[in-house]
Homo-oligomer: A and B are copies of this chain.
Amino acid sequence: MEFKPVGIARSRLSTAGAPPFQSVFSHEVGEIEVFPAFREGLKNIEGFSHLIILSYFDQAERRALTEQPLLDAEMDHGIFACRHFNRPNPIGISYMTLAKVTGCRLSVRGMDLLDGTPILDIKPYIPAFDSIPDALSGWVSETHIGRIRETSLQAHQDLDKKLRQG
């Protein structure tokens, strides 16, 4: 099974393993730059507000079977019971808000990928297929989710400040 990237992420993010974690909590904007050979694949994408972005975690350190969550290192969980990037097949899933399509460039909000991350696939998010609001979240507590939200906002504000100061 060999895959080739169909595009690349352009973002302000450059530190692996640092927040934002989870696209839904990311305040970062960015671009998905689709390679020109795949441009035709974007036909009719404009009508969707959210995209499912499958990416390749090319900075993942290892292919682990268990991991400790980045913000809650007290317990380890099976890699199929958590969202850590050190996975047997390091494929990431992000949901980004589509703001604008300019040729091969998708301007997005909710960017959570490092600059240069290879993109494997783009699918339209369709709530009738993809939204399961009442699913049970296992070991993932409200407190854990709150910490992801807070650190992701803080990371965005810190990056703003750092870039303003040059």
Contact = CB atoms under 8 A, between A and B. Distances in A.
A79 B65 CA distance: 33
A80 B137 contact: no
Interface string A6-31: 10000000000000001110000000
A103 interface: no
Contacts of A43: 66, 76-78, 81
Interface in A94-125: 95, 118, 120-125
B133 A127 contact: yes
Contact of A140 (B54, B124, B138, B140): B124
A22 B131 CA distance: 12
A41 to B, nearest CB: 4
A1 interface: yes
A1 B131 CA distance: 29
B127 A135 contact: yes
Given A43-B78, A45-B80, A137 B127 contact: yes
Given A3-B89, A44-B78, 15 more contacts: A1-B2, A2-B2, A24-B129, A40-B66, A42-B81, A47-B138, A88-B121, A91-B121, A95-B130, A95-B132, A125-B135, A126-B140, A130-B130, A130-B131, A131-B131
13 contacts: A1-B4, A1-B120, A41-B65, A43-B77, A44-B77, A44-B78, A80-B121, A89-B120, A91-B91, A124-B140, A127-B132, A127-B133, A130-B132
